[in-house]
Amino acid sequence: MYWQNLRLVDARALTGTSGVETVDLPESGILSSMDIRFDAIEDEATRNLIKGQIDCLTKIEVVHMGTQVIKSYTGRVARGIGFLDDQRIPFAQRGYAALGVSGYVYVPINFGRRQRDTEYAIDLSRLIDPKLKITWDCTITDPYTGGGFHSTTPVAQLTVITHTVRDLAVPPKGYIKTSQVKEYGIAASTIEDVKFPLGNPYRRIIIRPFEETAGTWGQSIPKWLLSKIELDINDGEKKPVQMKDEDYVNAYLRDY
């Protein structure tokens, strides 16, 4: 067994200020994980503040057969899931840049429970026409400074690195599908119900409460935005989770 680390896409120049990039994935091999590197030039006002290159990645998708979704989420959500999977922030996962100098961000995509997982990974030979689709938009502005990205040519560059295991003695048991189910703006006080599709076992459910309003960074802490978390199955027949926000966060931190 050995690992093959391949730059599938090497600094592809992206034209315009937004668009959709499609990358053909290999037709064979056991794909455990990928790294997406996105380069973009910030203006001076955006450095070290709320918005960055990661927010230009408005959707990351891995699909096969045209419409069958394996992964679907924003760049920021993908980076958060990568942190939970690997329990660390990889080097250079967030890039900062001076005025006129390209900064970059690495976004990890795991098809198993963590990077380089061989027990759970995706067998590309069992997929039909697998593709990586990246929707990007560099017209975003920072809510705190009003800054954004330079409209130079190219505005941005894309690099994709695949981590494939070769000569694996035992085939993987399966892969982990990840989908961003819902994103919505919450009112001052409300109860929001989210229904999850059935048919497959769930590994975990991630809730990301946040606020981008200038001057209220502290309100991004979950306890300021959520008062109660409840998971209900069959109209109250089972309730695996019924906790206040701070209790849930405390239990989660103890697990890690």
**d(Cα 43, Cα 40) in Å, to the nearest integer?**
10
Structure confidence at residue 151 (pLDDT): 64
Which domains can be identified in the chain, with CATH numbers?
2-166 (2.70.9.20), 181-255 (no CATH)
Query: What is the model's pLDDT at position 218?
Result: 47
Mean pLDDT, the chain cut into blocks of 10 residues (256 residues total)? 94 90 95 93 56 86 94 90 79 54 84 93 95 92 65 80 93 92 75 83 82 53 72 84 78 70
Cβ-contact 240, 234 below 8 angstroms: no
Q: Is the separation of the CB atoms in 82 and 107 below 8 Å? A: yes
Q: E strands along the chain, which residues?
A: 2-14, 18-24, 30-41, 57-64, 68-73, 102-110, 122-123, 131-137, 156-166, 178-179, 228-233, 238-244
Q: What is the pLDDT of residue 235?
A: 80
| 3-class state of residue 36 by DSSP | strand
pLDDT of 92 reads 54
Q: Three-state SS string across 196-222, please?
A: CCCCCCCCCCCCCCCCCCCCCHHHHCH
pLDDT of residue 63: 96
Instruction: Decide: pTM greater than 0.85.
Output: no
